[in-house]
Each structure stands twice: as structure tokens, then as C-alpha cells.
Chain A
Amino acid sequence: MKELRFDDVTVRYGTVRRPFTAVDGVSLVVPAGQVVGLVGESGSGKSTLARAAVGLAPIHSGQILLDGQPVPRRGRVRPLQMVFQDPYSSLDPRMTIGESVAEPIPPGSSRAERREEVARLLALVHLDPSVATALPGRLSGGQRQRVALARALAGQPQVVIADEITSALDVSIQGAVLNLVRELQRELGLSMLFISHNLAVVRYVASHVAVMYEGRIVEQGPVEQVLVDPQHDYTRELLAAVPGNRPTSATPHAPRTRSTS
């Protein structure tokens, strides 16, 4: 696994006369083997930053480096892989799960090797390898998101970018996907940029957190530090907005016990 570094990255859309700066001089490091959470409201540029890293959005200035080398944005070998928000639109409805997962596998392996690799990846995300022959229509949202994770891992990535991967899922499934992310990170030592608007989710999976607001990063640091002692007003606002995290709540909360009995 390698370190991903955004160095003063700016992304601009629109025409020369009316440019719109979606990402404005962002510098951010995802250390090797660590999960960095990126939080911010919609329109803050967090998804654009992710899309710029994988070549889906044009970079106006700045650099995105992987262990000091520019990230390849073209060609067959992609050390950066991305998992998308909506598992219902991120899998081709006409391709079997196996074909979808096999797609990013680097070329040069035989058919049997690819099939074996697909089975290994599906097992890694706790899916029965027999789903390889199924079409995505037969899978639930949580299962699809597991397939999307397996597909990202098939590209043998150095860094995985997860863009709001749980926000389209039911809460009961969200927990399972978050557990999986943590497990994969622990077992494979994945470096990961984990984008979310939910601070509680970021707190659960990430060791570092960066807060993005209007295209800039306004605060970053270790999770405990940022969440316990926020420096920027927007971070404080975000913290106050986490449901169940307000000093004065409408209803009294019973003391929380972890193991329900």
C-alpha cells in the first residue's frame, strides 16, 4: 500500500468566462495503510476531489501523487480504485457479477485464473462465489455494495476511494458494510479515502478526518482530536448536527448500554 497525496489540487468547471471552482487548492495526505475520512456537505467538492483522483474530473492545477509519483489517469493499470455511492447504478445490469468483478483484473491472466480470482474476491467480501453467475438484479443493496467493493479490490489498488458508500443503504445494511470496510482495512492494510457526510460513520472507520467546506479543507487531523476539540466553526456545526449528539435533547436518553439485554 502506498501513500496518496493531494498537492494544492484545484478543479474548475464551466467556461473560461464563468469558471466554477469546485475544489480550491486542496492539500491532503492519505498515509499508507490508513483510512482518512473526508466530510462536508453536498456541493463542498468532496466527491469532485475523489473523481479528480481517478481521472473522472479534470484537474486545473496541482498534483495527485502516489508515493511521490503522479497517479496514472489513463491506461489499463489503475492503482486507485473507487467505490460509488449508489449500488443500484454502479453495476451494469446486463453483466453477471463475475464479469463485473473481473473487469478491473489486470490483463495477462488466463480465464481460469480470472475465475479463481473472482471467487477469492467474492469470498473476501463474504459473498458466496456462486453469485458470480447471477445478474445484479437478483442481489440486495447490501450485497451489491459488497460486489462493488470486490470489483474495486480486483484492480489490485494501492488506495481505495469510497464515495458515500453507505448513504444509499438501509441502516440495517449500513452496519454490515461498515464492518466489512473495517475488516478489509485491517486484513489487507488498505489505504482508503472514505467520503461521508455522517461524522458518526467516519468516526467509526477512519483514523484521520478532513473537513471540506466550499471547496477547501478547513480542518484536518486525527479523528479523536477533531471530534473532541473542533477548531473551525463549520466542524462544530457538523458535530452539533449529528442526531443524538446534542447537549439538550428533546427527550431524555436512557443511559446507553452496549450489549442490549
Chain B
Amino acid sequence: MSRRWLRVLRTPLGLTTAALVVAVVVLAIVAPVLWSDRAEVYDTDNILAGPSGDHWAGTDGLGRDIFFRALVASRLSLELALAATVIGVLAGLLLGTAPLLLGRRLGRLVTTGVNIAVAFPGLLLALFFAVIFGVGATGAVLAIGFALAPSFARLVQTLVAGVAALDYVSAARVAGVGRVRILLRHVLPNIAEPLVVNATIAGGGALLAFAGLSFLGLGVQQPSYDWGRLLFEGIGMIYVNPAAALAPGIAVLVAGLAFNLFGESVAKGLGVSAVGGVPVPATSSRLTGHAGRRDGTDGSTHMAMAPSDLVLDVVDLRVSFPGPAGPIRPVRGISFSVRHGEALGVVGESGSGKSLTALAVAQLIEEPGRVEADRLEFRGADLRDGPRAHRHLLGTSMAMVFQDPMTSFNPTRRMGSQLAEVAVHHQGMTRRQAMARAVDRLRAVRVPEPERRATQYPHEFSGGMRQRAMIGMGVMGNPSLIIADEPTTALDVTVQQQVLDLLQAIRDEDDVALVLISHDVTVVGEVCDRVLVMYAGRIVEDLPAHQLQGGALHPYTRALVAAVPDMRTDLDQPLAVVPGRPVDPSDVPTGCAFAARCPLADDHCRTVDPPLAPTPTGSQVACWHAGEPLELDEGTGELVEAKS
């Protein structure tokens, strides 16, 4: 918390504005104490004088020193702005939290009222209040305060609504916690940061607004004076002594800027909070770019078929991101290949590097991420040349399906034209041909009424239908590889089955290879021929899918399989659990990364990392104790070394 605020101070703008704010506040406190007398002295010899050694900014009509008056005026200016801000923030808080406290009907009434008030111009509102409350400082404070209130109320309402919809507030309501207590304990602490930031910015605004009102003669009246009042007095003699108007003008400018920019830099500093762990590249936004990259340079030089029947050949793939303490390596050297028409499953816990592997292959890792490999070939083309060199090949021959199809489509464009775009850019079709192809492909992925569906927008599709359309987009070209990253995790079981069936059908029809990434061993076991099990950025086991049940050798694979209940699970036994936590990619231990959670681990495991080695059954496994007997501890559910 405090570290985040400190980070704000580390930026040049944050530090400068923070210093300025402190300086202005200190000035407001000390100036009247130190210089009140000098600001009030009538120097009758120097009436309306210009700048001089005695009077740096000249004197006013009564011979008073304008420079010192501007300094002393800082307290009143700040006090009034502060008072107005407090009124505005308090009124905003009351109005903004009212919907939560008052319940649905009354709350809606308040919301409507605030919405109308927000639409009303703020300055006009201030002028209106100034007339009602009378000309003078009190009226102006109330006027600016209440003019601030609607926009602040609106902000509070939005923030409150966002937090109130979260499960922890529901949980508190279920626990019988009252509304006021929910507001104080759960809602306000979680919206405090943006509120403080916005109040600071509003303070700067109030300062400027006050100067404006006083300048118009609607604010502070004689004999009191603030910066606006001084400006008002100085402007009359601007041709005689420009400094008389400039001094208070600069004061307003500096103070206003200080508050506004300080608020902004705090907002920026706190807003870009560091997300712990590995930065996840923005995959979805890149996807449409991937499919619809413009001016597709001809990549046909790389289209020559590979001599072998390998679609994808990866040797020693590594992905790294810069971290505060040296690079973080979520993928630490993995090798695998995919043959034509083969279905390869990749399983592992979140953070095992399975998704990053897929993104690296699809050339979707963004800066500052780095992809390195000894070999990274897709249909014979060397992908290490970078995505630009192969955009045509990638656009037509490799398809990517993501977990959440909603974020993979542009919500403002019709489905048909989004699919057609791929064919227009990569296959050189005309719009009409491409549209026909899109409808044909939607039919191929079993979207009912494809002609009508093509004219609809993404939000009109259900989750399962969108996932089909996503796959349809992938098969707009003639892909030889489909990479599906958790394609069914967000879907219902019945829909999941349909999508898996669809992927299977596309494979059978066109001999397409599939890389299916999932955390669900049962799904992978059902669809794939071969399974890679990943742990901490390495492949720990590579085995035929039918060996998953019973034939797995690595203790991690065995625990994963035994952790998932299926329709034949023994109800008298606990499910297997993997004790401990997954490895943090920024802190990978020496030796076998799984050793800390492994029942078979010994000192050798903790010092020497086992290589991925072939086994007699035709699989590969990275474990010094592969296949040693394990049994289920019925008390804890942990797999333990068999006592025999």
C-alpha cells in the first residue's frame, strides 16, 4: 500500500507536483503570520506604483504591496477551495452511497436526480447558487461545493455499484451484516483510493472556480481578499502595472496546476499497479490483428512444404520476461513436435507455462517478452524470423482458439464480415467471395442458419456459438494446425462436448493437427493422441493419451489423474491432492522443480534436475523415480511412497 504511494513519488511529475502541493500548503499556513502587516501597510507615497525594489509587483490604489498581498491571499484562497471541496465530496458521498443504503426504489430516484444534475453545466450551477446564497464568500463556497457534488456523486455511485456487485459483499449480506456496516467495512475501504485521488483533482478545480467567481465579483468581498479578488483589482490597471494582475494570476496557475497534476500523477501511479507474477500478454486484442493483418506481404517463399510430415517442430523453446530481480522464465526449454493430423494435449496447473508455450508458437508473445528456441519450425518455415516474415503463412495455416471468445471478436462488427476479413487479406478474395466463404465456414462449424447468423453481432451469439464461430474463423484458410487454449473451460459440459466433437470432426475431415491446452486431464485424455504434462515451464512427461489412466510414470501426472473424479471414481476413497503450491516462475528451485511437493523426492532430486528421458513403454519422463509405487493416504488424500 505505502509502497505504491512511494512509487508515485518516484516519477518526476509525481515528485515535482507533490513538492509544489506541500510548498503551497506551507505558504498558506505561514504567509499570513509572517507578512500580514506588510500586506496591510498603506504606502501613500507609492499609490498605483509599478514594480520596484520596495514593491516587487507594485502597489494597489491604496498603496498596499501587491506581492505580499498575493502571498497572504494564499491562505484564504486555499481555505475556501478546501471548504468547497469538503462540501462537494461529502454531498457527493451521501448522494452516491444513497442507492446502496436506501434500497432499490428510493435509490433509483436518487440516481436519476444525480444524473440530471450532472447534465447541468457546473459553472452555471455555481452562478445560480451564488445568486441564491447571495454575493460573498459563504455563498460562493456553498455554490462551488454543491456544483462539485453531482459529478462526485456519480463517480461514487459507479464505484459503489462495482464493489457492491462483488461476491464478498454478497457474502457479507448472507452473513447478516447490515447495510451501513457493509458500506463502512467493505465498500468504502475498497473505493477510497480513487476517491482520494479525485478529491485532490476536484480541489484544484475548486481553487480555479473560486478564483473565477471572485474575479467576476461574486466571491470574496472587500476588505477580505483572495487571489481572484486581487486579480479582479489588478485587471483594471493592467496597462499601468501588468504585474498587479500577473502576480495573483501566477499564484492561481501554480496552485491549480499543482493540485490537478498531483491528483493525476497519483491516479496514474496507483492505476498501473503491478500485477504479481508473470505479465500476461494481451492475447485477445492481438488475435483479430493476427487474422486481419493488413497489406499481407507475400510469404509464399516460405510456403515450400517441409520434407518431413511434421507440422510443428520445436526444440528447446524458452520464454522470458524481464523481472525486478533478473529475467523471469515461465517456459524453460521445452521440445516437442506435432505430426500431420495429430492431436497433442498439453496439461498442467495454472502457471505451468502451457499457455505461454502456445502463444510463443503462434508468435503472439509481445514485448517485453522474449522467445528463444534452437528450432521453431512450422511447416518448414523458421518462425524465429519473427511474425512479419510469415504473416501470410500464420494467417492461413495456423488457427488459434482462445478460452473467452467474447473478447476475441470486435463487438461492433457483424460476425460474417469479421470472418470474411481473413479471406480478403490472406487469400486475396473479393468481399463477395469472402462473405460466401464465411457463411460456408459457419455452416462447417455447425452454426445453425449461417446466412442469418453471419449478419449478427458477437453479443447475439451464445458462448458455445461464439466458440464455434472462433473455430470457424480459424478454418477460413486451410489450417494445418489448430492451437486451442482452454477452448471449453468457460462452457457448460454439454456445450463443451459439442465443441470438442467439432474439433474432432475438423481434424478427421481435413487432416488438421491440433494442440489442445487444458488443465482438465479428462478432456485432454478423451480428445488427444498424445499428452505433454508441463510443470514449472518444463515438460515432465510425454505419453500416449491412453496411458494417462494407469500408465503414467511421473508422480505429478499420477496425482493429476487421481485428483479428478470421474463417473467410476471410488466413493470410499479421498481424491488425490497435490500438497504445497505451484512453483513461482521467478523463483525456480535447483534440482527437480516438483521435488518440494513430491512423495518420492530425495536429496538427489533436490540437487539435480532430471532430464526428459525415453522409457520402455514409448513415453518420455523427467523423473529420477519414475514409476515407483505410490499409494493413496486415505487420511490426507496425498499420494505417498508405497510401504512394501
Which chain B residues in 563-591 approach chain A with CB under 8 Å?
563-571, 573-578, 581
State whether the Cβ of B407 lies closer than 8 Å to any Cβ in chain A: no
- Which residues of B have CB within 8 Å of A42? 463, 492
Of B67-75, B218-226, B231-239, B626-634, the one touching chain A = B626-634
Mask of B542-571 contacts with A, CB within 8 angstroms, 1/0: 000111011110000011111111111111
Choose from A55, A176, A253 the contact partner of B577 (Cβ within 8 Å): A176
State whether the Cβ of A15 lies closer than 8 Å to any Cβ in chain B: no
Of B10-18, B48-56, B172-180, B198-206, the one touching chain A = B172-180
- Looking at the assembled complex, report how far the CB atom of B298 sits from the nearest CB atom of chain A, in whole angstroms: 38
- Decide: A241 and B578 in contact? CB cutoff 8 A: no
- Which residues of B have CB within 8 Å of A174? 563-564, 575
- Residue tally, chain A, CB below 8 Å to B: 72
Mask of A123-154 contacts with B, CB within 8 angstroms, 1/0: 00000000000000000100000001001001
- Which residues of A have CB within 8 Å of B525? 243-244, 251, 253
Which chain B residues in 502-526 approach chain A with CB under 8 Å?
504, 519-523, 525-526
State whether the Cβ of B168 lies closer than 8 Å to any Cβ in chain A: yes
- Decide: B574 and A76 in contact? CB cutoff 8 A: no
- Given contacts A92-B190, A171-B521, A251-B546, whether A203 and B567 have CB atoms under 8 Å apart is yes
Q: Which residue of A lies closest to B638 (CB)?
A: A176
Q: Which residue of A lies closest to B497 (CB)?
A: A241
5 inter-chain pairs at a CB distance below 8 angstroms, sorted by A residue, are A82-B174, A175-B576, A203-B567, A251-B546, A258-B562
Q: Which residue of B lies closest to A51 (CB)?
A: B170
- Looking at the assembled complex, report how far the CB atom of A212 sits from the nearest CB atom of chain B, in whole angstroms: 12
State whether the Cβ of A231 lies closer than 8 Å to any Cβ in chain B: no
- Decide: A179 and B566 in contact? CB cutoff 8 A: no
- Decide: A171 and B519 in contact? CB cutoff 8 A: yes
- Which residues of A have CB within 8 Å of B564? 171, 174-175, 200
A227 to B559, CA, bound (A): 26
State whether the Cβ of A116 lies closer than 8 Å to any Cβ in chain B: no
- Decide: A179 and B558 in contact? CB cutoff 8 A: no
State whether the Cβ of A114 lies closer than 8 Å to any Cβ in chain B: no
- Looking at the assembled complex, report how far the CB atom of A256 sits from the nearest CB atom of chain B, in whole angstroms: 5
- Looking at the assembled complex, report how far the CB atom of B616 sits from the nearest CB atom of chain A, in whole angstroms: 16
- Which residues of B have CB within 8 Å of A76? 176, 178
- Decide: A93 and B190 in contact? CB cutoff 8 A: yes
- Decide: A244 and B563 in contact? CB cutoff 8 A: no
Name the residue in B174, B495, B630 with the highest tally of chain A Cβ atoms < 10 Å from its Cβ.
Answer: B174
The 6 closest A-B pairs by CB, nearest first: A104-B175, A175-B575, A175-B563, A90-B167, A243-B522, A241-B497
- Looking at the assembled complex, report how far the CB atom of B12 sits from the nearest CB atom of chain A, in whole angstroms: 30
- Decide: A170 and B171 in contact? CB cutoff 8 A: no
- Decide: B167 and A89 in contact? CB cutoff 8 A: yes
- Decide: A245 and B581 in contact? CB cutoff 8 A: no
State whether the Cβ of B350 lies closer than 8 Å to any Cβ in chain A: yes
- Decide: A90 and B571 in contact? CB cutoff 8 A: no
Q: Which residue of A lies closest to B563 (CB)?
A: A175
- Which residues of B have CB within 8 Å of A94? 189-190
Which chain A residues in 241-261 approach chain B with CB under 8 Å?
241-246, 249-261
Choose from B522, B559, B570 the contact partner of A258 (Cβ within 8 Å): B570
Mask of A92-103 contacts with B, CB within 8 angstroms, 1/0: 111100001001
Q: Which residue of A lies closest to B163 (CB)?
A: A92
Name the residue in A55, A76, A261 with the highest tally of chain B Cβ atoms < 10 Å from its Cβ.
Answer: A261
Which chain B residues in 324-374 approach chain A with CB under 8 Å?
349-350
Q: Is the interface of A mostly helix, strand, loop or mixed?
A: loop
A100 to B169, CA, bound (A): 11
- Decide: A204 and B565 in contact? CB cutoff 8 A: yes
A244 to B642, CA, bound (A): 28
Mask of B143-182 contacts with A, CB within 8 angstroms, 1/0: 0000000000000000000000011101111111110000
- Which residues of A have CB within 8 Å of B576? 175
Q: Which residue of B lies closest to A102 (CB)?
A: B175
- Which residues of A have CB within 8 Å of B175? 78, 81, 103-104, 151, 154-155
State whether the Cβ of B527 lies closer than 8 Å to any Cβ in chain A: yes
- Which residues of A have CB within 8 Å of B497? 240-241, 243
Name the residue in B463, B552, B562, B567 with the highest tally of chain A Cβ atoms < 10 Å from its Cβ.
Answer: B567
- Decide: B176 and A254 in contact? CB cutoff 8 A: no
A78 to B577, CA, bound (A): 33
- Looking at the assembled complex, report how far the CB atom of B529 sits from the nearest CB atom of chain A, in whole angstroms: 7
- Decide: A170 and B349 in contact? CB cutoff 8 A: yes
A36 to B350, CA, bound (A): 30
- Decide: B563 and A86 in contact? CB cutoff 8 A: no
Mask of A62-88 contacts with B, CB within 8 angstroms, 1/0: 000000000000011110111011100
A171 to B575, CA, bound (A): 11
- Decide: A241 and B494 in contact? CB cutoff 8 A: yes
A250 to B342, CA, bound (A): 12
A199 to B497, CA, bound (A): 14
- Decide: A237 and B567 in contact? CB cutoff 8 A: no
- Decide: A243 and B494 in contact? CB cutoff 8 A: no
- Given contacts A94-B190, A174-B564, A238-B494, whether A254 and B549 have CB atoms under 8 Å apart is yes
- Which residues of A have CB within 8 Å of B629? 261
A197 to B173, CA, bound (A): 25
- Which residues of B have CB within 8 Å of A41? 492-495
- Decide: B166 and A253 in contact? CB cutoff 8 A: no
- Looking at the assembled complex, report how far the CB atom of B246 sits from the nearest CB atom of chain A, in whole angstroms: 47
State whether the Cβ of A91 lies closer than 8 Å to any Cβ in chain B: yes
State whether the Cβ of B138 lies closer than 8 Å to any Cβ in chain A: no
- Which residues of A have CB within 8 Å of B561? 260
- Decide: A172 and B559 in contact? CB cutoff 8 A: yes
Choose from B174, B185, B528, B569 the contact partner of A95 (Cβ within 8 Å): B185
Name the residue in A80, A148, A172 with the highest tally of chain B Cβ atoms < 10 Å from its Cβ.
Answer: A172
State whether the Cβ of B186 lies closer than 8 Å to any Cβ in chain A: yes
- Which residues of A have CB within 8 Å of B492? 41-42, 197
- Decide: A170 and B519 in contact? CB cutoff 8 A: yes
A140 to B582, CA, bound (A): 9
Choose from A243, A256, A261 the contact partner of B520 (Cβ within 8 Å): A243
Q: Which residue of A lies closest to B518 (CB)?
A: A171
Mask of A200-244 contacts with B, CB within 8 angstroms, 1/0: 110110000000000000000000000100000000011111111
- Given contacts A254-B550, A259-B631, whether A170 and B526 have CB atoms under 8 Å apart is no
A54 to B174, CA, bound (A): 6
A75 to B559, CA, bound (A): 45
- Decide: A241 and B526 in contact? CB cutoff 8 A: no
- Decide: B577 and A172 in contact? CB cutoff 8 A: yes
State whether the Cβ of B288 lies closer than 8 Å to any Cβ in chain A: no
A103 to B185, CA, bound (A): 10
A63 to B577, CA, bound (A): 40
- Which residues of B have CB within 8 Å of A81? 174-175
Mask of A16-30 contacts with B, CB within 8 angstroms, 1/0: 000000000000000
- Looking at the assembled complex, report how far the CB atom of A183 sits from the nearest CB atom of chain B, in whole angstroms: 8
- Decide: A56 and B173 in contact? CB cutoff 8 A: yes
Name the residue in B170, B349, B350, B493 with the highest tally of chain A Cβ atoms < 10 Å from its Cβ.
Answer: B493
